[in-house]
């Protein structure tokens, strides 16, 4: 595992770490990173396509990377942004190591996966599907992840390529992690750092709005924003601007806000 640095940055900029979806590539954040790069030191967590670590190992590998980054470049604060699978990892990192994190953004977190029997059945089914069928299935799944009319051709292709980059056994393993994902509700209620939840109304993969509403009932310092026309992979959509959403919900640091005002 490693942290990708898509842009150069100043060592004193707030550190913004993107935790990717199940593909783990960390390369599907370019659209948003381009807008955020003047306000943060952007890092994208990249999980190798062969990696079959359990949750505990993923958490500790991620925290090790964050600590090394902070030692080399002492940033003023750390934001983590977890999307889908990455949202689950972000919650586990934040709950186990809250002292490292300043603010959290969760984008359609896949924490509701284990609450739906038909999705859990898919974990078992995926292991027995022939490879050619699996490849076709990923193309079908693309329609559940996002609306083609809300993404440009380049981003749609990048999403498909990322999905197809994972070996079938790794997909099965990461689906099993989502099936087995659990977090202690008492820990959620004790977590006081600011959390911003983004939930897509038109998510065809997971009931993200319902999950967002449930999570804000647990997290004491959280707020929910619903994206009315967006699908599951909303950060790839042309009309979704994460920087504007952060500004709207006062989720930028004082130095960030000053840059916005002067921009």
Containing structural domain, residue 27: 2-262
- pTM, 2 dp: 0.90
pLDDT for the residue 44: 97
- Of 209, 229, 239, 253, nearest to 106 by C-alpha is 209
- In this structure, what CATH number is given to the domain that contains residue 109? 3.40.50.1820
pLDDT for the residue 121: 47
Q: How many domains does the chain have?
A: 1
Give the helix ranges, DSSP H, for the chain. Answer: 30-36, 55-72, 85-96, 117-126, 131-145, 153-164, 168-179, 185-190, 208-218, 242-248, 254-262
- Quick one: CA torsion of 81, 241, 109, 121, rounded to 10 degrees? -130
pLDDT for the residue 162: 86
- Note the pLDDT tens digit of each residue in 133-155: 455 456 556 666 776 678 888 98
pLDDT for the residue 210: 96
- Note the pLDDT tens digit of each residue in 174-212: 888 998 999 988 999 999 999 999 999 999 889 999 999
Which uninterrupted H or E stretch holds 51?
none
Q: What parts of the chain have a pLDDT lower than 50?
A: 117-118, 120-121, 124-125, 128-130, 132-133, 136, 258
pLDDT for the residue 253: 72
- Of 122, 113, 94, 136, nearest to 211 by C-alpha is 113
Q: What does residue 128 show for φ and ψ, rounded to 5 degrees? A: -110, 0
Cα 174 to Cα 162: distance, rounded to the nearest angstrom: 14
**199 and 212 Cβ atoms separated by less than 8 Å:** yes
């Amino acid at each position: 595992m490693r942290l990708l640095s898509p842009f150069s940055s100043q060592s004193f900029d707030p550190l913004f770490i993107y935790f990717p979806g199940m593909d783990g590539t960390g390369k599907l954040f370019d659209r948003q990173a381009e807008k955020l790069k003047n306000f943060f030191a952007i890092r994208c967590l990249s999980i190798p396509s062969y990696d079959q670590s359990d949750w505990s190992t993923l958490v500790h590998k991620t925290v090790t990377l964050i600590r090394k980054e902070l030692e080399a470049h002492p940033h003023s604060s750390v934001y983590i942004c977890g999307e889908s699978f990455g949202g689950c990892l972000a919650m586990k990192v934040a709950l186990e190591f809250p002292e490292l994190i300043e603010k959290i953004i969760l984008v359609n977190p896949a924490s509701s996966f284990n609450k739906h029997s038909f999705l859990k059945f898919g974990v078992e089914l995926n292991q027995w599907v022939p490879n050619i069928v699996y490849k076709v299935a990923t193309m079908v799944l693309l329609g559940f992840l996002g609306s083609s009319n809300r993404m440009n051709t380049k981003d749609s292709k990048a999403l498909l390529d990322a999905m197809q980059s994972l070996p079938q056994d790794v997909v099965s393993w990461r689906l099993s992690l989502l099936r087995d994902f659990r977090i202690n509700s008492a820990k959620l209620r004790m977590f006081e750092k600011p959390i911003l939840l983004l939930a897509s109304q038109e998510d065809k993969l997971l009931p993200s709005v319902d999950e967002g509403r449930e999570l804000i009932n647990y997290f004491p310092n959280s707020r929910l924003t619903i994206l009315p026309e967006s699908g599951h992979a909303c950060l790839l959509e042309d009309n979704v601007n994460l920087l504007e959403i952060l500004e709207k919900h006062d989720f930028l640091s004082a130095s960030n806000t000053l840059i916005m005002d002067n921009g």
